[in-house]
Structure 1
Amino acid sequence: MELCSNHEQCESRSSQIKLTKGFAAKEPVRGHMVNLVKGMKLYENIFTDSELSKLTHFVSDLRTAGHNGELSGETYILFNKQIKGNKRELLQFGVPIFGHRQEDATSNIQPIPPLLQGVIDHLVQWQLLPVYKKPNSCIINFFDEGEYSQPFWKPPHLDQPISTLFLSESTLVFGRFLVNDGEGNYKGKFTLSPKEGSLLVMRGNSCDMARHATCPSPNERIAISFFRVRPDSTPAHSPHGPMTLWNPTSPGPYSYEPMDMVMPKWGLLPAPVVMLAPAPVPQMAVSPKKIPGSGTGVFLPWNGSHRKPAKHLPPRAQKGRVLHLTHAVETHVAEPASA
């Protein structure tokens, strides 16, 4: 099955694609106002109605095959089935994103189907995605009526850009801080409602600094996300094992201080760590009511250099200033360890 029937017409279609960019949503980061969605681009009029219909029917058939146990390994995953609004159902193909990739590792996840590979090839052909960062991983998320996602923050083993093709109209919220009323109604600095057939491409700050979440909707939604997983020669978790929570372990290249970003019930209490993908085993499907409200204690120290002492201060004052800063940093880092 091919995506388009006339490849010659496909080559000239790039001129018809609508691009929206220049999104702005500033939040304070280490004392400076930063545009958290810088680098975000939204493309429309990419695929025809017949092509979108073909894609929708194809992924729906894959979903049915997953229900019937016809897909190998962890290609089809269903978790949190008993939790209202937070059930997640997905299909993953290609290189698994849940953990680092090893060059010699084998996976029990099926390769990217030819039709979806055709989508990737066309996005590269139209220069919507760079050829040197061509995706090698694909995840299809299904959201039924009223369902929502957990906030997503790009783990370090994924390359930029990250792109999502929406087969249904959706609403997403972006921000360094996301507030949740407990029913998936997120509030953030920036809200985006991509139309059916839109492609969202995230680079730069929008990929590395902002978290995003899918909000509940009265409609069913399908979103296809494309990733490029970096090869890693260091020991990693087996791709055959259950998927786990991903916690940030070191500051990103933008040198900001990640914190617990989700706040329940419009309050100020930190929520559990952001979940990239819960484990598919039943015992991992924990009710939100049982999650402790004291936070996770995840803290990433600021990796930028300390402020230089003012030159006009006398040496003794400069020395005292440096000692004071050093003591403050040591105390700040030690607190999570004692929690």
Structure 2
Amino acid sequence: MAAGRSVHKISEELKSLTLRGPAGGILLDEDDEAVRFANVRKNDFKHWERVRGRLINILDGLELHTSVFSSAEQRRIVDCVYDFQEKGRKGRLRERTYLKPKKWMRGKGRVTIQFGCCYNNAVDGNENPPGIIRDEEVDPIPPLLKQMIKRMVAWHVLSPFCIPNSCIVNIYDRDDCIPPHIDHHDFVRPFCTVSFLSECNIIFGTELKINGPGDFSGSASIPLPLGSVLVLNGNGADVAKHCVPVVPTRRISITFRKMDDSKIPYDFIPDPELQNLRPLSLRGQNHPNILPLQQDQQDEPPKNAQHSQKVQQAQHAQKVLQSLAQQRPMRLSEDDFPPLSSNTTVQLRRK
């Protein structure tokens, strides 16, 4: 089999995952998606604090995946979010899907649009406690956001064993923020957030200080590049609190989460498009029935410079795919999630 066919095979598998815009237009730019997938980078983080007398990495379980969504894709996703916002303003979304503060206050002006379930941050007027309101309906996840989920599962960003069935869109204007919190356990782990429009820092720590409205400080700060996906799991989701201080300019984030089975709304219908998603198959030693790209390439020499470049790109993609294949899911016990206590700051270090 020729090397060109090997690259073509990867590209064909990716075609079914092409994101499409609201009007059905192709969302992907013109780059070869197989090469783009190979260029996605994952960063893990270390930050040590003493919790109940034990020094632990409070960021264990955090992953930052960069270059997941291109600039062209980001623009189309943002346009889609603005379309949701306009529909919400005009009352064309189900009640509680679109939420806007009655009165803007510094740090409390975020517009939220939630799909899949209605979630309460605090006790509401009907005395519903914080968490998922099971007897309240909101709009289902829109097609474009479902395609984002498919992309993230396919590209090994999200686990196929924890596919999101809800999401919340946050639209920040200048001086908006998200206060310190740990995500409610009505949602299972891992979950993720995708960043758009402007870069900002997300702050982590077992103790986060509130200096004033929207002004927070903590022991670890992570910048969130545009189009990146931050996956929260383990200590990073359940031991460390996190927050986003006031932003200097408009920002959009989309957080995808899977509901705990016991908390799913009563009238919720699982979306067949999000069932049984699988990551792209990995070619190499872990899959003996699939020939590695290098072996395919030996059957026919490059015919021209462009073909040679494709071969080099395929070789690079193969190295990344083999690296992904060697990853193993982290197994954590209850001992990894001790109650919050005093902290000791140690220098943040990125793998």
**Do these two structures clear the TM 0.5 threshold for a shared fold by scoring above it?**
yes
Question: Partner residue of 2:261?
Answer: 231
Supply the distance in 2 between the matched residues of 1:72 and 1:96 (Cα, whole angstroms). 10
Residue 190 of structure 1 and its aligned partner are, at CA, apart by: 0.3
Residue 46 of structure 1 and its aligned partner are, at CA, apart by: 1.2
Supply the distance in 2 between the matched residues of 1:223 and 1:82 (Cα, whole angstroms). 19
Supply the distance in 2 between the matched residues of 1:81 and 1:64 (Cα, whole angstroms). 19
Supply the distance in 1 between the matched residues of 2:113 and 2:342 (Cα, whole angstroms). 28
Matches within 5 A, 1:64-103: 64-79=86-101, 81-98=103-120
Question: Partner residue of 2:325?
Answer: none
Supply the distance in 2 between the matched residues of 1:101 and 1:69 (Cα, whole angstroms). 22
Classify 1:73/1:253 alpha carbon distance in 2 versus 1 (closer, same or farther; 3 Å): farther
Classify 1:126/1:233 alpha carbon distance in 2 versus 1 (closer, same or farther; 3 Å): closer
SS in 2 for 1:146: coil
CA contact (8 A) 2:173 2:251 kept: yes
SS in 2 for 1:122: helix
Question: Partner residue of 1:317?
Answer: none
CA contact (8 A) 1:92 1:138 kept: yes
Residue 85 of structure 1 and its aligned partner are, at CA, apart by: 2.8
Matches within 5 A, 1:261-272: none
SS in 2 for 1:213: strand
Question: Partner residue of 1:192?
Answer: 222
Residue 128 of structure 1 and its aligned partner are, at CA, apart by: 0.7
1:151 maps to a residue whose letter is: P
Residue 257 of structure 1 and its aligned partner are, at CA, apart by: 2.3
CA contact (8 A) 1:152 1:211 kept: yes
Supply the distance in 2 between the matched residues of 1:253 and 1:95 (Cα, whole angstroms). 31
Classify 1:8/1:216 alpha carbon distance in 2 versus 1 (closer, same or farther; 3 Å): closer
Supply the distance in 1 between the matched residues of 2:34 and 2:183 (Cα, whole angstroms). 32
Normalising by structure 2, we get a TM-score of 0.63
Supply the distance in 2 between the matched residues of 1:185 and 1:35 (Cα, whole angstroms). 25
CA contact (8 A) 1:97 1:137 kept: no
Question: Partner residue of 1:247?
Answer: none
The counterpart of 1:110, out of the listed 132, 135, 139, is 139
Matches within 5 A, 1:32-51: 32-51=54-73
Question: Partner residue of 1:14?
Answer: 37
Matches within 5 A, 1:122-137: 122-137=151-166
Give CA-to-partner distance per residue, 1:172-199, whole Å, 9 cap, x none: 1101100011132211110011111111
Question: Partner residue of 1:169?
Answer: 199
Supply the distance in 2 between the matched residues of 1:201 and 1:27 (Cα, whole angstroms). 20
Classify 1:6/1:255 alpha carbon distance in 2 versus 1 (closer, same or farther; 3 Å): closer
Supply the distance in 2 between the matched residues of 1:202 and 1:159 (Cα, whole angstroms). 10
2:158 maps to a residue whose letter is: L
Question: Partner residue of 1:119?
Answer: 148
Classify 1:259/1:30 alpha carbon distance in 2 versus 1 (closer, same or farther; 3 Å): closer
Amino-acid identity (%): 27
SS in 1 for 2:186: coil
Give CA-to-partner distance per residue, 1:115-169, whole Å, 9 cap, x none: 0000001100111101110000100011110111111202222111110000131
CA contact (8 A) 2:193 2:229 kept: yes
Structure 2 alignment gaps of length 5 or more: 1-20, 121-129, 269-333, 344-351
2:116 maps to a residue whose letter is: G
Supply the distance in 1 between the matched residues of 2:152 and 2:170 (Cα, whole angstroms). 19
Instruction: Find out whether 1:55 has 2:85 as its counterpart.
Output: no
CA contact (8 A) 2:208 2:218 kept: yes
Instruction: Find out whether 1:153 has 2:221 as its counterpart.
Output: no
Question: Partner residue of 1:142?
Answer: 171
